[in-house]
Amino acid sequence: MRASRDDDRTGIAAAIMSGGHIIETAENEVNTYGNPTLHAEMVVIGAVTEKLDRKDLSGCTLISSLQPCEMCLSAMRFAGIKRVIYCAQQENVAEKYFVFPKLHITDFEQAGEAFEHIGGVLEDEVLHLYAKGDE
């Protein structure tokens, strides 16, 4: 991950896959462009919608090195993504990653609509990046 080697580190990565293939990957670009909305998940969603020339990403899976924040989960749901897999979980990382700490990933489930979230995947390999907010 390039961002993890930069002085202005923002070591969070995300990918979108469909049909067992990765469509696109992205890194957090908040510090690169000074834009607080350029989280890795937001960047990859934008890149995939442009690449596929469609805003509906139903059938895709979002993958992230850190549990997506409230903004990213909302964008994911607006894009029709109903499955997210992530490494570091909210309860195990620094509070700075979540503006609304009382909101949890289960709050992003929509009545009657499937939503799958799988957290803690390889968490032990990345937790040192996020536990104290030092990524």
CATH (domain of 31): 3.40.140.10
Examine residue 111 and state whether it is found in any structural domain, yes or no. Answer: yes
Residues marked as catalytic = 41
Examine residue 6 and state whether it is found in any structural domain, yes or no. Answer: no
pLDDT reported for residue 9: 56
pLDDT reported for residue 107: 86
Examine residue 7 and state whether it is found in any structural domain, yes or no. Answer: no
Examine residue 135 and state whether it is found in any structural domain, yes or no. Answer: no
pLDDT reported for residue 3: 46
pLDDT reported for residue 52: 96
Count of the separate structural domains present in the chain = 1
Q: How many CB atoms lie within 10 A of CB 42?
A: 23
- C-alpha 117/C-alpha 26 separation (Å) is 20
- C-alpha 72/C-alpha 40 separation (Å) is 9
Examine residue 134 and state whether it is found in any structural domain, yes or no. Answer: no
Q: Which segments of the chain have a pLDDT < 50?
A: 1-4
pLDDT reported for residue 122: 97
Q: pTM for the full model?
A: 0.90
- C-alpha 117/C-alpha 61 separation (Å) is 10
- C-alpha 12/C-alpha 16 separation (Å) is 14
Examine residue 2 and state whether it is found in any structural domain, yes or no. Answer: no
Share of the chain above pLDDT 90, in %: 78
pLDDT reported for residue 4: 46
Examine residue 4 and state whether it is found in any structural domain, yes or no. Answer: no
- Domain of residue 26 covers 13-129
